[in-house]
A and B are shown apart, each in its own frame.
Chain A
Amino acid sequence: MITGNVLSAFISNEWQLQLTILLPLAATLAIRLAHKRPNVREAISLVTSAMLVLLSYSLYRNLSLGFELKLVWFEVIPGLELSFTTEPLALLFALMASFLWLVTSIYSIGYMRGLRESGQTRFYQFFAIAIATVMGIAFAANLFTLFVFYELLTLSTYPLVTHAGDDKAKSGGRTYLALLLSTSFIFFMLAIMGTWLVAGTLDFAPGGIFGHQAAPGTCAVLLVLFILGIGKAAVVPFHRWLPAAMVAPTPVSALLHAVAVVKGGVFTILKVCSYIFGLELMPDLVSSQALLYLAGASVFLASLVAMRQDNLKKRLAYSTISQLGYVTIAALLANNAGVIAGGMHMVIHAFGKITLFFCAGAIVIRTGKKQISQMAGLGRQMPFTMVAFFIASLAIIGLPPTAGVWSKWFLLQGVLDAQQWLLLLVLCLSSLMSIFYLLAIPVRAFFPGSEPGPRSSVRQEAPLPVLIAIGISTLACLLLFLFPQPLFDLAAAVTTTQGGEVR
């Protein structure tokens, strides 16, 4: 596994691990100090995010795919420590988040300057803090550490959501905090405490930590508490925060509410299902069937609502809720194909959805349009943006030639393995609906027909950094279709680290 990695020659693996958290934090300070020089400030953001990608990549290359590296920061209460470890799912999440932070940093330069937003320094600062906490979530070695960073992520993104500072932002921020904090304070916290009392530990371990002596009834209740408590996964009925968070500037919606925060949610669910309950225990729990239907309802209802949204960002938000439901279903299926589908969809949806948000932002910068009904005929004005939108839509729906096809493939396999016929129906219906609510937008942009809309044939694309960012993420959707192997290997490694008999 060890390759001629330059980073490792200088920095030990332990340090690389903690630098993923410390580096963005240090960047926060540097950004603050450079607040009078926008160019230096943005350069700091870019360099830090590029270094973070290198760090994550180097960790990925240096380590075999198990829980081999462990790093303890400090012990808060006897038995509760802040500690970190690397495992396949964590690496998958960290690689994705750090890479997309880099792309978003490029994008935000174009976006924030293009719109002359105020308070840019504060924006970049909290962005960096948010990424640090995302890394903390990714590499958390136990539920407590994960919980700490989960809450910190909520708080550090609050100033980003309310960036505009007006009444709309304030009320959006209220919904955001209220739902995320109440679910995590009541259900998640109870679930963690319950796990602690039943299992006596909170450490993530391959194959779960409950063992055979735990009462199945208690475990079933705990699973319900976990799924309800991880509000960031936006499972109905705790999904309202996601549309509310759309008051934020577009880069925030793109990275945090299509990638980091929501993926933090489903990542936590994947982690809890694979490393707290374990694939062996999950199917035996009475509640898992009910929760599967809840997630199915989430997929279906959110698609339904998405079709009725005219505000582009809102429609994308509901589409996200629906797609998160896919990952939740994948995790709850608790079979090999399901886990692979969950891991892969987490990443592929991230690339697709971030592209869509980038495009939505690009449209706002150039035309100020936020409603879909105004976008007919936009294809002539912004062909590049709308083509990217089209490709990313395909990735979300799960059609070739984009990577979306792979995760949907494994998800279907998982559903068939588990013989969940009703869910199969829901997933198919929802895919049809997503064709309708996503593809309709670029199609009408290029073929407006007789609909009223902008007829300007002058090419007017967004600023260059924005286009570069859109280009990179679109390209990734296509490349991952051709070369899905590394992604598959990481996701599949989660199932092989399960230990014991693999189902």
Chain B
Amino acid sequence: MIAQLPILQVIVPLLAAPCCLLVGRSKLLWFFALLASAMTFVISLVLLQQVQESGTIHYSLGGWSAPFGIEYRIDLLNAYLLLIVSSITSIILLTAHASITAELNENKHKLFYVVFLLCLAGMLGIIATGDAFNLFVFLEISALSSYTLIALGQKRQALTAAFRYLLVGTLGASFILIGIGLMYMVTGTLNMFDLSERLPQVEESRTVVTAFSFLILGVCLKLALFPLHWWLPNAYAYAPSVVSALLAATATKVAIYILLRFIFTVFGGEFSFTTLPLQEILSVLGIAGVLTASVMAIYQQNVKQLFAYSSVAQIAYMMLALAMNSTNGLIATLLHLFNHALMKGALFLALAGVMYRLGSVELTQFAGLGKRMPWTMAAIVIGGLSLIGLPLTVGFISKWYLLRAALENGWWPLAIFILLGSLLAVVYVWRIVETAYFSPAKAGHNQIKEAPLRLLLPTWILVLANLYFGCDASFTIAVTELTAQALLGGAP
């Protein structure tokens, strides 16, 4: 059983998805989906512990050993990402029943859970697999299911948003496929470990450089790196609240994982940073992304859209940290993967609570909510402070490492831009705070009550996690330090 864990991680949600069709009532469906995702969470915990104890886990699918069969390979990076995705998804799923009852028609509930689990399976598959083509397959599974999830949104704009995402996503996936195809052409293998061994012998060839460029571009489309981010804000804003939370907290993390895997494992850090001017590209786009997206966030009227732009900015931070090409920079990227998932998870779940009570997350609707929904608003304030990077929240931990990496590289102006970015975050967070606590409540909002406990509890689990991992970062730092060293040290 223990030996089968790497595949179980993916198979459980993948099989649970069609099984949902057999379950009748909505509440039962929810329990079932929750059970499946909780199982993946437990499995990921065990996997992380195993990897920490005894190193990388290899698993040959169907007994066909690599490079002929598909290999699942769990090293520290995989285990860490699996833990992030499965834990956050499970917590988000806790709110699903209450939230979708309010937002979706009864007849769509079944579809929702099926697609949600497929999306989870896709994301976990991307992370767990050691095979480049298999990765593409799972990428498509998660992408197609997230288009569907977004299209489930109440408003008609959800359809356009989903369609836009579909166009960009397909484009990105095609680029990735082209990249993988080119690599296969040169090396004759799809196994990522094999690729990393064979590519250095042919790295001079133009095909490899082309493959690399296609891959990077494709992934950057997927992870919404500025200026390829325009699909993201609407997709987050019009999707059902649970889906917004899932996408914001986990989906982009998976894309960043792909980027890290290709840059550091498959091609190797040295090749990646010398063939293309990656450092320059990522740092310029990163800075531009942080500043532009943060400023855009300030002008949004829809709070989901506001936080969506903030996500674009946070992704830009991660790319900026990656551009440092140093251990501390990489640690900052990895830390922020986890920390950002906690912040955005908490914030979007709190928004789900607002959506549940008000049916809208327009900023004007927040007037007077500080009194009406004190716990939900407190969650938004703490999540917002974490986003700003106040000490004792997780945001500070990421910022500290990012700043440290920037100064160690001697990039003083960059450090100032990074700090400027967190001031912009103060501005957009404070727009919500001022509306919620200072504007008088709207007429007809006097009956608004606090969000139900089913929504509040998961939100606060994440809020408290923001504080806990902000006060004691030893776990995250220990894992990310080892991961960063392993990645920079070359092959897994």
Contact = CB atoms under 8 A, between A and B. Distances in A.
A493 interface: no
A421 interface: no
Contacts of B438: 162, 165, 170
Interface string A180-194: 011001100110011
Contacts of B470: 76
Interface in B372-415: 385, 389-392, 397, 400, 403-404, 407-408, 415
Given A75-B474, A189-B419, A181 B426 contact: yes
The 5 closest A-B pairs by CB, nearest first: A148-B391, A186-B419, A193-B403, A170-B438, A182-B423
A76 B472 contact: yes
A151 interface: yes
B477 interface: yes
B28 interface: no
A43 B194 CA distance: 74
Interface of chain A: mostly helix, strand, loop or mixed? helix
A174 B438 CA distance: 12
A185 B385 CA distance: 13
B472 A185 contact: no
Nearest to A221: B412
16 contacts: A76-B391, A76-B471, A76-B472, A77-B400, A77-B473, A165-B438, A170-B438, A174-B430, A174-B434, A181-B426, A185-B419, A186-B420, A189-B419, A190-B419, A197-B404, A197-B408
B407 A147 contact: no
A217 B128 CA distance: 50
Contacts of B473: 76-77
Nearest to B415: A190
B422 interface: yes
Contact of B407 (A151, A170, A193): A193
Contacts of B391: 76, 144, 147-148, 151
Nearest to A169: B438
Contacts of B477: 77-78
A198 to B, nearest CB: 10
Nearest to A193: B403
Contacts of A76: 391-392, 397, 470-473
B423 A185 contact: yes
A177 interface: yes
A243 to B, nearest CB: 20
Interface in A422-467: none
A74 B434 CA distance: 33
Contact of B422 (A77, A185, A193): A185
Interface in A148-187: 148, 151, 155, 162, 165, 170, 174, 177-178, 181-182, 185-186
B298 to A, nearest CB: 13
B416 interface: yes
A74 B472 contact: yes
Interface of chain B: mostly helix, strand, loop or mixed? helix
Interface string A188-216: 01100110110000000000000000000
Contacts of A82: 471
A190 B422 CA distance: 13
Contacts of A75: 472, 474
A77 B390 contact: no
B404 A148 contact: no
A182 B425 CA distance: 11
B420 A74 contact: no
Contacts of B400: 77, 80, 193
Nearest to B389: A185
A148 B473 CA distance: 15
A403 B27 CA distance: 73
A194 B412 CA distance: 10
With most chain A CB atoms within 10 A of its CB, the pick from B391, B400, B416 is: B391
Nearest to A189: B419
Contacts of B430: 174, 177
Contacts of A189: 403, 419
Interface of A: 74-78, 80, 82, 144, 147-148, 151, 155, 162, 165, 170, 174, 177-178, 181-182, 185-186, 189-190, 193-194, 196-197
Nearest to A182: B423
B425 to A, nearest CB: 10
Given A76-B397, A151-B391, A189-B403, A170 B423 contact: no
Given A74-B472, A151-B390, A186-B416, A193 B426 contact: no
Contacts of A144: 391
Contacts of A197: 404, 407-408
A394 B400 CA distance: 46
Nearest to B396: A76
Contacts of A170: 434, 438
A133 to B, nearest CB: 12
B397 A77 contact: yes
Contacts of A194: 407
Nearest to A190: B415
Given A76-B397, A170-B434, A177-B430, A148 B423 contact: no
A10 B473 CA distance: 35
A137 to B, nearest CB: 13
Interface in B94-153: none
Contacts of A196: 404
Contacts of A190: 403, 415-416, 419
Contacts of A186: 416, 419-420, 423
Nearest to B391: A148
A291 to B, nearest CB: 20
Interface in B456-492: 470-474, 477
B423 A181 contact: yes
Given A148-B392, A193-B415, 20 more contacts: A74-B471, A76-B391, A76-B471, A76-B472, A76-B473, A77-B400, A77-B477, A82-B471, A144-B391, A151-B391, A155-B385, A170-B438, A181-B423, A186-B416, A186-B423, A189-B403, A189-B419, A193-B400, A193-B403, A197-B408
A412 to B, nearest CB: 39
A77 B392 CA distance: 10
A186 B426 CA distance: 13
Contacts of A155: 385, 390
Given A77-B477, A151-B391, A177 B426 contact: yes
B386 to A, nearest CB: 13
A177 B384 CA distance: 15
Contacts of B471: 74, 76, 82
B406 to A, nearest CB: 9
Nearest to B425: A185
A185 B416 CA distance: 10
Given A77-B473, A186-B420, A193 B434 contact: no
Given A78-B477, A170-B438, A193 B472 contact: no
Nearest to A165: B438
A419 B56 CA distance: 68
A486 to B, nearest CB: 34
A185 B422 CA distance: 8
Contacts of A74: 471-472
A155 B430 CA distance: 12
Nearest to A194: B407
Contacts of B392: 76, 148
Given A185-B423, A186-B420, A186-B423, A193 B474 contact: no
A193 B423 CA distance: 17
With most chain A CB atoms within 10 A of its CB, the pick from B419, B426, B473, B477 is: B419
Interface string B419-452: 1101100100010001000100000000000000
Nearest to A198: B407
Nearest to A78: B477
A159 to B, nearest CB: 8
Contacts of A177: 426, 430
Interface string B11-55: 000000000000000000000000000000000000000000000
A290 B305 CA distance: 46
B248 to A, nearest CB: 24
B419 to A, nearest CB: 5
